[in-house]
């Protein structure tokens, strides 16, 4: 079951898994786009379940309607960018619910059936923003740091019980998705990755039960690890003039996804 199936990364993940014979349950809000994807993906038996994960109770309803799920791909996400006071209460709750609460609720709903079968895998699409904080991203950082902590803790609980739990953490992704949709120029020298690289990482995470795969050029991965080790220095550097300008270009291009 793939959430956020209609998005830039969701489509790439769906194609990679369908090409390997997976029977997909595709979810997002756009019902027509989901039905079209289900019909056009390679293989047979794909299903579309439209669902607004910003609504209370929606994650539990999605899990119940899905029935038997071998692999959860918690991918749906909102950019959650901008200064905190600019968020309405509804926007704030929605970002927290879609990015963090829903993956946790889906995992809780699906864990018992996986334990009963003695097999299953959960992949959480986090971000390098789950390791490294940047300007105009406090809400997004909160959800992705939280998702990373949740997935690692869940893995500690489920590893010995035969259920895989993985994090896939993309950096800046070109061509499609919430960053590319802004039209902002990537930060010079830091490079980008493609949606296909994210999809390949998802496949690898499942096949090899990887704890975490960062999908980003080495410069971005180094900065994210540095940020974990030295948050004070990292935040100081990231919040300088050029960091503020880059973040502002991205956040302005994501207002329609708040």
Told to check if 82 binds ligand NAP by CB under 6 A, we report no
In the block, residue with structure tokens 């889906």: 106
Q: Which is nearer to ligand NAP, 158 or 215 (CB)?
A: 215
Residue 179 annotated in active site = no
Tell me the two tokens of residue 206. Answer: 């499942």
Told to check if 146 binds ligand NAP by CB under 6 A, we report no
Q: Which is nearer to ligand NAP, 30 or 225 (CB)?
A: 30
State how far the Cα of 102 lies from the Cα of 56, in Å rounded to an integer.
9
Told to check if 6 binds ligand NAP by CB under 6 A, we report yes
Binding string, 199-238, against ligand NAP, x = CB under 6 A? ----------------------------------------
Of 50-79, binders to ligand NAP (CB under 6 A) are 51-54, 75-78
State how far the Cα of 179 lies from the Cα of 212, in Å rounded to an integer.
21
- The phi-psi region of residue 106 (left if phi > 0; otherwise alpha if psi is between -120 and 50; otherwise beta) is alpha
Told to check if 10 binds ligand NAP by CB under 6 A, we report yes
Q: Which burial class, exposed, middle or buried, applies to 200 when counting CB atoms under 10 A from its CB (0-12, 13-18, 19+)? A: middle
Beta carbons within 8 Å of 20's beta carbon, 6+ residues apart: 203
Candidate list 124, 140, 145, 150, residue with the active-site label: 140
* Least distance in angstroms from the C-beta of 230 to ligand NAP: 22
Spacing of C-alpha 116 from chain mean position: 27
Residue 30: helix, strand or coil by DSSP?
coil
Of 162-191, binders to ligand NAP (CB under 6 A) are 170, 172-173, 177-179
Q: Which among 1-9, 106-114, 220-228, 231-239 is the span making contact with ligand NAP, rule CB under 6 A?
A: 1-9
Q: Name which of 145, 137, 130 is nearest 82 in CA terms.
A: 137
Beta carbons within 8 Å of 205's beta carbon, 6+ residues apart: 123, 166, 167, 168, 213
Binding string, 14-43, against ligand NAP, x = CB under 6 A? --------------xxx-------------
| Residues within the interface to ligand NAP (CB under 6 A) | 4-10, 28-30, 51-54, 75-78, 98, 125, 127, 170, 172-173, 177-179, 257
């Amino acid at each position: 079951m793939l959430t956020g199936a209609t998005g830039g990364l969701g489509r790439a993940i769906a194609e990679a898994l369908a090409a390997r014979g997976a029977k997909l349950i595709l979810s997002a809000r756009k019902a027509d786009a989901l039905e079209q994807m289900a019909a056009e993906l390679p293989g047979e038996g794909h299903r579309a379940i439209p669902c607004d994960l910003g609504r209370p109770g929606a994650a539990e309803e999605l899990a119940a309607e899905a029935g038997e799920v071998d692999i959860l791909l918690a991918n749906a996400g909102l950019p959650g960018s901008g200064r905190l006071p600019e968020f309405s209460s509804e926007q704030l709750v929605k970002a927290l619910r879609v990015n963090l609460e829903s993956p946790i609720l889906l995992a809780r709903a699906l864990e018992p059936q996986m334990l009963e079968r003695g097999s299953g895998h959960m992949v959480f699409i986090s971000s390098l923003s789950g390791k490294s904080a940047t300007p105009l991203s406090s809400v997004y950082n909160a959800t992705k740091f939280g998702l990373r902590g949740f997935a690692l803790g869940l893995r500690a609980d489920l590893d010995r019980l035969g259920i895989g739990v993985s994090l896939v953490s993309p950096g800046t992704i070109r061509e499609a998705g919430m960053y590319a949709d802004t039209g902002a120029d990537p930060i010079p020298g830091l490079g980008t990755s493609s949606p296909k690289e994210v999809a390949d990482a998802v496949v690898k995470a499942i096949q090899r039960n990887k704890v975490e795969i960062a999908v980003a050029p080495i410069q971005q991965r180094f900065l994210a690890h540095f940020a974990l080790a030295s948050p004070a220095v990292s935040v100081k550097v990231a919040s300088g003039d050029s960091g503020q300008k880059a973040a502002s270009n991205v956040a302005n291009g994501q207002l329609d996804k708040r």
